[in-house]
Amino acid sequence: MKKLITILLILISLQLVSAEDYSLAKQLELNLNLSSTITLTPTKSSYSIDKVISDLYFFPQDTDKQEVILLETFPEATEQDNILRFEWQSPEEKELQMYLTARIRTENKIKKIRTKIPFPLQDIPEEYVQYTKPSALIDSDNAKIISTASQLAAGSDDLYQVVFKLFDFVKSNVDYDLSCAERIEKASGVLENKKGTCDEFTNLFVALVRALGIPAQYISGISYSNLPQLKGFNWHAWARVYFPDYGWIDVDPTYGEFNSIDASHVLLNYGLSGNESSTRYEWTGRNINLVASSLEMKADVTEQIGNVKPLLDLNLEMIEDSVGFGSFNLVKATITNPNNYYIATTLTLAAPSQISVLNKEKRILLPPKSKKQVYWIINLTKNLQKNYIYTFPLQLFSERNATAKTEFKSSAKDDVFSFEEINKLFKQLQEEEKKVYSKEIYLNCSSDKKRQYLYEKPVLNCEIKNKGNIYLENISVCLEKDCKIFNLGIAQEKTFSFNITEQLKRVRIIAINKEISKTIFPDLEILDIPKINITDLNFPLNVSFNQKYTISFTLEKESKSIPKNITINLGNKKLNLAELNKTQNIIFNLKANDLKPGKNIFNLTIRYLDENNKEYSVSKSFELSLVNVNIFQKIYLFFRRLLEL
């Protein structure tokens, strides 16, 4: 009976910062309270105060993603030019209280951009031009900012793709660091130091966008964080980018959300930069000073309405279904966008603790009705028990809860793939994605039998066809170092074959030239020769007449293929096993009166077959002695042997 250990997968959020608690909410209703205290301090005994004005720049407003259901202020404020103005006429109190209470409904809503918007932008409307200009903190005119943005955008003529590349760069290269919260770093400093909080993430992203002549706003507001140090609603910053004919789309480079920010985001202010104060104060009077406390915020969710639906279809599979301990492996995800609009998402691969994943998070962009392959290199630990077969599950998920699962097995006898081998394959498959004409090539190879030994001289029969509309020159189709080189005209096909002459971990065919890169894995397994090893042979050196004794040993499967129809011969004793798929301990219980006096030579022989019934054998010889035999026992043994003849 095969022993099987299943390593259970515990799914956790792998994002550094996220609104995890509300990331799947379609809508939220929440209460928001903003408050501040103004303290009036006379400088002389004779003083007067005529008027106090407090202008609040941070307050909830209606947008396409949020609706202000109720807004109350004390004292009653008036709204003018995106400002809430609080006024006190000749106040008698030395402490003035101001507060705002709002009930807001927010929505996780994607802006459906269905068509390609050409980049660079031309003829930007006048009202948006101001959002292409630099500021003190968003120094989009800095030479390094301009150079970085230009390099990232080089060769792209699709605005959505360009903005996504800038977003991915910021999210991938800036570390979230709360030690930076005391002061706000300008964009060029963030590019150099590569750390910060939401202010720094947003400053750098907006600067890169504006450096390419694309309008972008700096958004101030609140959102929910699951960081232990910041658990709950906190002040937050993100961005909006202008897309002609569609308006503003939200981008949160800190949370890794692109055009689909979670519903915990509440916009309170938008502008050119993030260094604007939340409030401004003025007063008229004599011999009196004014000091105001920082604006305090409190928010809580009162209702969660529905959940967002997955926008993508995910499929997950292993390149190698089984690998040895310590091996590298490749995970392949196929992501399909069935919608008629662009989708950007973050994919996270979760794995058990025995597996390390290179770059767990990957951000991808899919145009309307498109499909993409994404790969992860993983490494399995060496520290596993030799006599067990393991099953390791993996799960892929996106921020909108699209998921996919797969698994692979591992044992001590499976093939071990090095990082170099898997990384080479990874690069080949990535190259296939880049060379879009690869999709126009049909390549197929097959053999008469799906499982063969090298002594059978396996042959792969292949065909390749050009289904596209360009002439392909110098196509190199290779099995390891055996390559066929030819040209292939439009609608033309070639047939050819490969003779397999060496033991391969995996049969792989690669077709490549300057236009294409195509990799296939024919359904053919090259079996190694089954091998059994006899170990831990134990027996007594001396036994006495009529004494019972045991001979024991271990049969170890030293091959990946399974030995079958095993016959164990030890003297006149025989034992049969159907197959050997794991280490097997064998014990023979014997009596000494079957021996002859003095030395006795034993031949232990193991015979077994492969899948083609070809026979193999392994043997070991050893000796033990029958001692202290008296004259009567010798006579008994002599006549017994005569009877057996």
Say what the pLDDT of residue 645 is. Answer: 54
Residue 399 has φ and ψ, to the nearest 5°, of: -70, -15
Q: Which H helix or E strand runs over 532?
A: strand 532-538
Q: Is 244 exposed, middle or buried (0-12, 13-18, 19+ CB in 10 A)?
A: middle
- H-state helical runs in 399-500: 419-434
Q: Based on the fold, state whether residues 518 and 536 are members of the same structural domain.
A: no
Say what the pLDDT of residue 21 is. Answer: 66
Q: Based on the fold, state whether residues 236 and 105 are members of the same structural domain.
A: yes
Residues in contact with 151: Cβ distance below 8 Å, sequence separation at least 6, in sequence order: none
* 382 neighbors 333 (Cβ within 8 angstroms): no
Whether 423 maps to a domain, the answer reads: no
Give CA–CA dist 586/607, Å, rounded: 15
**Tokens coding 478:** 């290779």
**Closest to 238 measured CA to CA, from 214, 262, 254:** 254
- H-state helical runs in 216-339: none
pTM across the whole model: 0.83
Q: Based on the fold, state whether residues 43 and 134 are members of the same structural domain.
A: yes
Q: Based on the fold, state whether residues 122 and 236 are members of the same structural domain.
A: yes
Give CA–CA dist 369/446, Å, rounded: 32
If the chain, 645 residues long, is cut into consecutive pieces of 10 residues, what is the mean pLDDT of each piece? 36 38 90 95 89 93 95 93 91 92 96 96 95 96 97 96 98 90 90 95 98 97 86 94 96 95 95 79 86 93 94 96 96 97 96 94 95 96 91 93 94 93 93 89 95 96 95 95 95 96 93 94 95 96 92 94 96 92 92 89 96 96 92 81 65
Q: Looking at 307, 333, 348, which one is the last position of a domain?
A: 307
Q: Looking at 277, 307, 337, which one is the last position of a domain?
A: 307
Say what the pLDDT of residue 446 is. Answer: 96
The C-alpha angle with vertex 620 and arms to 617 and 626, in degrees rounded to 5, equals: 140
* 75 neighbors 98 (Cβ within 8 angstroms): yes
Residue 130 has φ and ψ, to the nearest 5°, of: -60, -25
Whether 569 maps to a domain, the answer reads: yes
Whether 249 maps to a domain, the answer reads: yes
Q: Based on the fold, state whether residues 96 and 226 are members of the same structural domain.
A: yes
First-to-last C-alpha distance (Å) of the chain: 41
Burial 441-466 (b: 16+ CB within 10 A, else e): bebebebeeeebbeebebebebebbb
Give CA–CA dist 342/338, Å, rounded: 10
Say what the pLDDT of residue 643 is. Answer: 67
For residue 623, the domain's CATH number is 2.60.40.10
Q: What is the DSSP letter of 436?
A: G
The domain in which residue 601 lies consists of: 532-644
Q: What is the DSSP letter of 357?
A: E
Q: Based on the fold, state whether residues 584 and 459 are members of the same structural domain.
A: no
Whether 276 maps to a domain, the answer reads: yes
Say what the pLDDT of residue 298 is. Answer: 96
Whether 391 maps to a domain, the answer reads: no
Give CA–CA dist 259/109, Å, rounded: 8
Q: Based on the fold, state whether residues 476 and 547 are members of the same structural domain.
A: no
Give CA–CA dist 608/567, Å, rounded: 6
Q: Looking at 284, 307, 330, which one is the last position of a domain?
A: 307
Whether 404 maps to a domain, the answer reads: no
Give CA–CA dist 584/589, Å, rounded: 16
**Tokens coding 232:** 């709950």
Maximum CA extent, the chain: 138
| Residues shown for the chain | 645
Q: Based on the fold, state whether residues 117 and 263 are members of the same structural domain.
A: yes
Residue 626 has φ and ψ, to the nearest 5°, of: -95, 115
Q: Is 432 exposed, middle or buried (0-12, 13-18, 19+ CB in 10 A)?
A: buried
The C-alpha angle with vertex 24 and arms to 19 and 25, in degrees rounded to 5, equals: 95
Whether 335 maps to a domain, the answer reads: no
* 130 neighbors 214 (Cβ within 8 angstroms): no
Q: Based on the fold, state whether residues 462 and 579 are members of the same structural domain.
A: no
Judged by DSSP in three states, 164 sits in helix
Whether 378 maps to a domain, the answer reads: no
Helices 159-173 and 198-211 cross at an angle (nearest 10°) of 150
Q: Based on the fold, state whether residues 489 and 630 are members of the same structural domain.
A: no
**Closest to 338 measured CA to CA, from 433, 402, 254, 259:** 402
The total of structural domains in the chain comes to 3
For residue 464, the domain's CATH number is 2.60.40
Q: Based on the fold, state whether residues 471 and 536 are members of the same structural domain.
A: no
- Per DSSP, the chain holds a count of helices (H) and strands (E) of 7, 43
Task: Kindly list the distances between the CA atom of residue 169 and the CA atoms of 11, 209, 241, 382, 593, in Å, as whole numbers in the listed order.
Answer: 26, 12, 16, 34, 82
Q: Based on the fold, state whether residues 135 and 264 are members of the same structural domain.
A: yes
